[in-house]
Amino acid sequence: MSDPMTAAALARLQELEDRAEIADIVNRYGQGVRTRDVDLLCSLFTDDAVIDQGHGTVVQGADAIRTHFGGPAANSTIGRSVLTFDEKIASTPVMSNTLVTLNGDTAHCESMCLAIHTGIRDDQAVVMVRGTRNIDDLVRTPTGWKIRNRLHPAVWKFELPGEAYGNGE
């Protein structure tokens, strides 16, 4: 029969589980953007979350976040952001450089995203490439870690003509 884990070993195991869950949130965000899965994206945030896109767009609360990610184009803040296409075809977010700082039931996470988007604007196929940061404050909830505050500034971007083949599903 094995000895029970020490308190230190249990604490280390909890820390590793927390870090893995928070890193998974970063990757699920990229997956949600790629697949346009509004339910997945909304599940990553607390009901009172605030998302600051870093260019004057701030979204607060579950209903506003749902509209932000998937509401009608006329209402969607993404539709009025720097990612304006007449028709968005596909996104390929590449998430990286995830750094997590834990503090009990709160955490801070910073990650980078190479965001590649294709779409149609003025009857022309366009590829937009952006480097963005995700600066997240998270809380442990009864259903797991969730983002309470996100700052999501673009660091750089460029656009060029390109081909928009589809969503890669």
Q: Which CATH number characterizes residue 134's domain? A: 3.10.450.50
Is residue 46 situated within a structural domain? yes
- The rounded distance, in Å, linking the Cα atoms of 19 and 88 is 33
**88 pLDDT higher than 50:** yes
Is there a contact between 31 and 116 (Cβ–Cβ < 8 Å)?
A: no
- Res. 89 pLDDT band, cuts 50 70 90: confident
Mean per-residue pLDDT of the chain? 88
In this structure, is residue 168 part of a structural domain?
A: no
Q: Does residue 35 lie in a domain region?
A: yes
Tell me whether residue 2 is in a domain. Answer: no
Identify the pLDDT of residue 148.
Answer: 98
Instruction: Give mean pLDDT, residues 113-137.
Output: 93
Q: Is residue 167 part of a domain?
A: no
Domain limits at 32?
7-161
pLDDT interval class at 5 (50, 70, 90) = confident
Tokens (6 digits) for 120: 């149609």
Determine, yes or no, domain membership for 166: no
> How many other CB atoms are found less than 10 A from the CB of residue 49?
23
- pLDDT over threshold 60, residue 10: yes
Lowest mean pLDDT among 61-65, 79-83, 120-124: 79-83
Q: What is the pTM assigned to this prediction?
A: 0.87
Alpha helices in the chain (DSSP H): 7-35, 38-43, 62-70
Establish if 75 belongs to a structural domain. yes
Look at residue 154 and tell me if it is in a domain.
yes
Residues recorded for the chain: 169
Number of domains forming the structure of the chain? 1
CA atoms within 13 A on the CB side of 136: 29
Distance CA 95, CA 132 (A): 10
